[in-house]
Amino acid sequence: MFGGIQDRNKLWRIAAVFAATGALALSGCSSSEPSGGEESPTAAAPADKVEEIANTVPEAIKASGKLIVGVNIPYAPNEFKDEAGKIVGFDVDLMNAVAGTLGLTPEYRESDFAKIIPSIQGGTFNVGMSSFTDSKEREQQVDFVTYFSAGTLWAQPAGDAIDPENACGKKVAVQATTVQETEELPARNTKCTDAGQPPIEIIPFDSQDAATNAVVLGQADAMSADSPVTLYAIKQTNGKLEQAGETFDSAPYGWPVEKESPLAQSLLQALEHLIESGKYKEIAANWGLEEGMIDKPVINGAVS
């Protein structure tokens, strides 16, 4: 969603893609707005309720039978809409399994990314699910349950030679408020100006697919986003984009919940169960994301 890693510790969300949209740019159109839906892997089978773990769920949530999840769309392959308009993705399959283990039905509510954490604090959402990087700054507002490890990865038009370590003066597209915009690129610009070189022109967009589209259409030289998002974007553009450099600044993704909420422990135990049962690996493999799997989730595992 993958601030300079959206905090994703420098990771945050990056690059998603027309995945959630089948962008017009991919079909040769010149519009700057993508449209449509994207095909996705077959969803994993539901997870069974585990009574011992379900009993740890806070009473108010247990009584409702629902887990209200705030999500920002699109950020493929983690969360986006398929051709039928259904919210799908790696994060969705995993949250569905966690909710099933807890005996709850997930209810996904779309939101601006920047409003998800305030909505958790205000009680509108029980949990956030939008490729959040668990950062020490964010941990001052909410608690996180880690579930994946991602880094930042750049993409460029095929055939170009953009070096993230030598990108002064280039135009780089990002999703607004991500770690890439707030941390990674400002830090690079400090190095540029200290060396007497022009800064990177940071071009923020409200959605990741718009940022990806900007690179495809030649409006930006490159984009920066979380590694799984960037890799998926490259795949979806059918050769129009390619990787620029290697993945760097790996950090944990986490689900944000209200500070000191016992729900964090419930989510942690559910995920531990899915890891032990092999369900977690099955879901990650279904989306080609085995590289970012973790062995043990923690509450508040920020590295910076």
Query: In the predicted model, what is the mean pLDDT of residues 51-71?
Result: 98
Chain CA centroid to CA 178, Å: 10
Cis, bond preceding 58 (omega within 30 deg of 0): no
Contact 63, 102 (CB under 8 A): no
| 222-226 sheet: strands from edge to edge | 105-110, 66-71, 127-128, 241-258, 142-157, 222-226, 171-175, 201-205
**Confidence band, pLDDT 50/70/90 cuts, at residue 18:** very low
Q: How confident is the model at residue 141 (pLDDT cuts 50, 70, 90)?
A: very high
Higher pLDDT, 33 or 226: 226
Chain segment 285-304, per-residue pLDDT in tens: 898 788 789 999 999 999 88
Q: Which residue has the tokens 């668990």?
A: 134
| 184-198 average pLDDT score | 98
pLDDT confidence of residue 26: 42
pLDDT grade, residue 39 (50/70/90)? low
Superfamily of 18-292 according to CATH: Periplasmic binding protein-like II (3.40.190.10)
Domain boundary assignment for the chain:
18-292
Give the tens place of pLDDT for each residue, 82-139.
Answer: 999 999 999 999 999 999 999 999 999 999 999 999 999 999 999 999 989 899 999 9
pLDDT at 34 over 50: no
Sequence-ordered list of residues with C-beta below 8 angstroms from that of 203, at least 6 positions apart, any chain: 171, 172, 173, 174, 211, 214, 219, 220
79 touches 71 (CB < 8 A)? yes
